[in-house]
Amino acid sequence: MKLCEIINVGTELLLGEILNRDAQILCDRLAGLGISVRRALTVGDNPGRLREDFLLALGRSDIVILTGGLGPTADDLTKETVAEALGLPLVEDAAQMAKIEAFFRRRGIPPGESNRKQALVPAGCTVLYNENGTAPGCFIRHGEKAVALLPGPPRELSPMLENSLLPLLAPFGSGVIVSHYVRTVRLGESRMAEMAAPLLDMENPTVAPYAKEGEAYLRVSAHGETREAAEALCAPVIKKLREILGDWVYAVDKDLAQTVLDLLAEQGKTLALAESCTGGGIAARLTDIPGASKAFTCAFVTYSNEAKISMLGVSRDTLAKRGAVSAETAREMALGARERSGADIAVSVTGIAGPGAEGTDKPAGLIYLAATDGARIIGEKMETGRADRGYNRVAAAKTALALVRDLLSQPRKLTVNPK
Amino acid sequence: MKLCEIINVGTELLLGEILNRDAQILCDRLAGLGISVRRALTVGDNPGRLREDFLLALGRSDIVILTGGLGPTADDLTKETVAEALGLPLVEDAAQMAKIEAFFRRRGIPPGESNRKQALVPAGCTVLYNENGTAPGCFIRHGEKAVALLPGPPRELSPMLENSLLPLLAPFGSGVIVSHYVRTVRLGESRMAEMAAPLLDMENPTVAPYAKEGEAYLRVSAHGETREAAEALCAPVIKKLREILGDWVYAVDKDLAQTVLDLLAEQGKTLALAESCTGGGIAARLTDIPGASKAFTCAFVTYSNEAKISMLGVSRDTLAKRGAVSAETAREMALGARERSGADIAVSVTGIAGPGAEGTDKPAGLIYLAATDGARIIGEKMETGRADRGYNRVAAAKTALALVRDLLSQPRKLTVNPK
C-alpha cells in the first residue's frame, strides 16, 4: 500500500483561528483510493521549517500533499519552498496567466505583480486549475514519488481534489476501500454496540460503532481489489446488521433529514413543523437539502407563548395549567400546525434547551414532541439530563424527524390516539 | 517564547472519519498563554511511529501535548508509549482507581482488567482527573521540559485543559497574547483590507483581514507582558479601525446574531422573522444563543407559496405577477410577519438558494430582503453570483440581521418609505 503524508500550511491554523477541515477531507478521499495516510502535519508560514518537514515526509513516503500558502500575498510561500526543495524552477503557465488576465479584464483593472505571481508553477508539473478561486494547484512527479499542492480553503480544495487530483493519484492506490454507515436513531451507542457485538471483531470488513449528535451508527468498511469486490464484502454484513438492529436502523448512508424527505416524496406527502426549543433548527436542517421544497411546506417557529397561541392556536388554558413545556402543549402545537398549514403531517417540539431552566422549574433537557398525520397522533418525552443547549437542540430535532419517520414507515403499528 | 508541539493520536483521524477539533482548541488556548505551537501532527495508533514522532518533537520543543489513545481498549497505547520513551514505569493511582471502582459499583458490576488499566499513570506525573469520562490525563515534568497527555473527545479534553492543564502550563507562557475581532458586514474582504491598509503592516499588534460566511473581519492581536499591557496595545488600533471603517463595523468580538439580540434587548424591542430561502436558518442562529427568547418571538418559515399566502398574507396577485423571489414579495412578507406576530420589528428573506434555479428563470444567489419597524420599511437585493446553497443561505441570513441592525441603530438616517 502506498504511503502518503499531508502537510497543511498556515500560521492561522497553529494560532487556532481556523479549524483544519482539509486534513479530514484528504484523509477520507485517500482512504477511499486505498492510499494510507501515515501522518498529517500542520506547520506555519515559515519556509525553513516547511522545507525541513517537506523533505522528511518525501524521504519516508510515496506521496506528499501540501495545502495552503498558494495565495498572492507575501506570506504565501508553499509553492516557492517546494519547488526550491525539489530543484525545480518556477515557470509561467500560459493558460493560468490567461485566466488571471481575463479575471481582471472583467473587473476593469490590470493585474498587480502579486496576481501575476499566481501564474507561476514548478516546471514540468501538471497544473490543477481552480474553478473556485485564483490560486492553481499542481501535481509533480518526482521519480517514483508524487507531490501535490492544493489551495487551503475547503471550497477550493474539495472540487480540485475530486476532479483533478484523485484521478492522477488513482494509479498509486492499492485496491479500494469502501465504507457504509448503518444509521440508527433513539437506540444509543452502547446498546447498539452490545447488539452488534458478534460483528465488531471482524477483519474485512471492519465494523465500528460511533455516536454523534443524538444518533448512533456503525461503520462497515471493506478493502477489496475492486469497488465491486469491496462492496460484495460489505453487503452481507450490512444485511446481518439490519437483521440484528431491525427497525432501529433508519437508513444505510443517508442521513435522517434526507431519509424523511425521501419518504415524504415517495408517498406524495407534505410536512409542516411547529418548533419551540429547536428554534428553526429542524427547518434549517431540512432546507439545507436541495429539493426540500417538494415535501417541506412551512414551519411555525413559536418561541414565545403568544406566538404559540396566535400562530398555532394553542389554548391559553393549556399554557397556564400545563406550561409551554408539556405533552399537552406539544400535542396542540402539532394539531395546530397541521390544520393551519394544510400539510399531511405535522410534528412539534417544545422543551428546555438549556443551559438554564429559562424561568421554569423544569430541568434543561426535558423535551416534549408530538406528531400527527390526521388519523393518528403520537408523542414522545425526552429527558437528556444534560444542560448542553447545542446537544439538546440537535437531539430534539433528530427525535422529531424520527417521529415523522414512524408515521411514514409504520402505517399500522403505532398506537392510534386521534383527538 | 516557549515552543510547543501537538500530537493527536488516532487512526480514525487519518481515515478521515473524525474531524480533528482538538488541535484547534489547544492552539487557541496556548496562543492565549503566549506559548507558540510550531507543529501539530496527527498520527495513527501505531506505537513505533508514535514513539519516533514523540521523541523528535521532545528533542526540538519545550512542551509536547498528546491527545487521544488513553481509552481502555487494546489500540489505546499513548500512555504506554510515552512512559516507555521517557523511561517511566506505570504505577497505579489510588484516587483514579477509587473513581473507577465507584463508577462500576454504581453499575453493579466489577471493573474488568481493561478498566483497571485506566488507573495506571507514569510514575511521578500530576494526574489530571477526568470529570467527563473514564480516562485520566497527565502532566509530566521532564527536566526543563513538559509533556502532557489528554483524552481525545473534545468534551473531555476542553474542561481538563481549561481547569487542570493550563494552570500547570502558565509558567511556560511568555506574557499574554490578546486578540480582538473588528467585525463588519456587507463590506467584503478586499474593500475592507484596502481601507485598513495603513494598519496591516504593524508588528505588535498585528492586524490581519479574514472573511467567513458573508462577513469580513480584522483580527487585532497583541503580545504583552500582562493582559493589561496587551489590551493597551490593541485599544488604540481598534479605535483607529472603527474610525476608518465607520458604520461598516457592527461590533468588536461579538457576532452579528448576538449584536442584534443585544440591541433589541437594550431598546426593549421584539423581532419576528419571515424566512423563505433561509428556511429557518436565521431563527436557528438566533435561538442558538441562550436568552434569545427575551427579544425573539417567532419565525414564519414559509417555504411554499401557499404558506406565504396563508401564514403571512402575501397576495396571490403579487406571487403571480412578480414571483416568490421579488422585492414586492419580500416587502409583503415583512409587513405580514410584523402585523401577525405583534413584534416591533420584522425582517423577511426570499431568494434562490441554489444550486439550481428551483423551477424559475432566476439565477441562484438572487435574494430579496425587507425589514420594517412599522414606521419605515427598508429593502435589499443581493446577487451573490454563486450556486453554493450553503453560502447563499448564510449570506442571506447575515444580511437579514444587518437590516435589523440598520433599523435599530440608525433611527433617522434610513430612507423612510412606509406603506
List, in order, residues 6 or more apart from B191 with CB less than 8 Å away. Answer: none
pLDDT band at B413 (very low <50, low <70, confident <90, very high): low
Query: Is pLDDT at B107 greater than 80 in this prediction?
Result: no
* Average confidence score pLDDT of chain B: 92
Lowest mean pLDDT among A349-353, A383-387, B16-20, B67-71: A383-387
pLDDT, one tens digit per residue, over B63-87 is: 999 999 998 777 789 999 999 999 9
Q: ∠ CA(B8), CA(B12), CA(B17), 5° rounding?
A: 115
Query: Is pLDDT at A49 greater than 50 in this prediction?
Result: yes
Query: Is pLDDT at B314 greater than 60 in this prediction?
Result: yes
Which residue's C-alpha cell is 467585525? Answer: B183
In percent, the amount of chain A with pLDDT more than 70 equals: 98
Query: Shortest Cα distance from A388 to chain B (angstroms)?
Result: 11
Residues 73-132 of A with CB under 8 A from B: none
pLDDT band at A102 (very low <50, low <70, confident <90, very high): confident
In percent, the amount of chain B with pLDDT more than 90 equals: 73
List, in order, residues 6 or more apart from B288 with CB less than 8 Å away. Answer: A279, A389, A390, A393, B257
Residues 316-375 of B with CB under 8 A from A: 340-342, 353-356, 358
Average pLDDT, stretch A381-403? Answer: 92
> CA-CA distance, A103 to A110, in Å (whole number)?
9
pLDDT, one tens digit per residue, over B150-165 is: 999 998 999 999 999 9
Average pLDDT, stretch B227-247? Answer: 96
* Average confidence score pLDDT of chain A: 92
**DSSP conformation letters of A323-391:** -SSSHHHHHHHHHHHHHHH--SEEEEEEE--SSS-TTSSSPTTEEEEEEE-SS-EEEEEEE-----HHH
Average pLDDT, stretch A44-48? Answer: 92
Please, where are the H alpha helices in A34-93?
47-60, 78-86
Average pLDDT, stretch A293-322? Answer: 97
Q: Which of B219, B278, B293 to mutate to test the interface with A (most CBs of A within 10 A)?
A: B293
pLDDT band at A419 (very low <50, low <70, confident <90, very high): very low
Q: What pLDDT score was predicted for residue A43?
A: 96
Query: Is pLDDT at B417 greater than 70 in this prediction?
Result: no
Within its chain, how far is the Cα of A290 from the centroid?
A: 15
How many C-beta neighbours within 10 Å does residue B150 have? 30
> CA-CA distance, A297 to B260, in Å (whole number)?
28
Q: ∠ CA(B220), CA(B224), CA(B225), 5° rounding?
A: 160
pLDDT higher at B145 or A100: B145
Phi, psi angles (nearest 5°) of residue A296 = -90, 125
Lowest mean pLDDT among A238-242, B29-33, B35-39: B29-33
Residue B384: list chain A partners with CB under 8 A. Answer: none
List, in order, residues 6 or more apart from B258 with CB less than 8 Å away. Answer: B251, B289
Lowest mean pLDDT among A134-143, A166-175, A363-372, B157-166: A166-175
Q: A333 and A308 in contact (C-beta within 8 Å)?
A: yes
Residue A294 in grid coordinates = 417538494
Query: Shortest Cα distance from B316 to chain A (angstroms)?
Result: 16
Give the residue among A93, A114, A91 at the shortest CA–CA distance from A104: A114
Q: What pLDDT score was predicted for residue A177?
A: 81
B415 DSSP 8-state letter: P
> CA-CA distance, A341 to A298, in Å (whole number)?
7
* Collapsed DSSP state (helix, strand, coil) of residue B239: helix
Query: Is pLDDT at A91 greater than 90 in this prediction?
Result: yes
Nearest residue of B to residue A354, measured between CA atoms: B290
Query: Is pLDDT at B338 greater than 50 in this prediction?
Result: yes
Residue A292: list chain B partners with CB under 8 A. Answer: 279, 303
Q: What pLDDT score was predicted for residue A412?
A: 57
> CA-CA distance, A412 to B224, in Å (whole number)?
69
This complex has an ipTM of 0.80
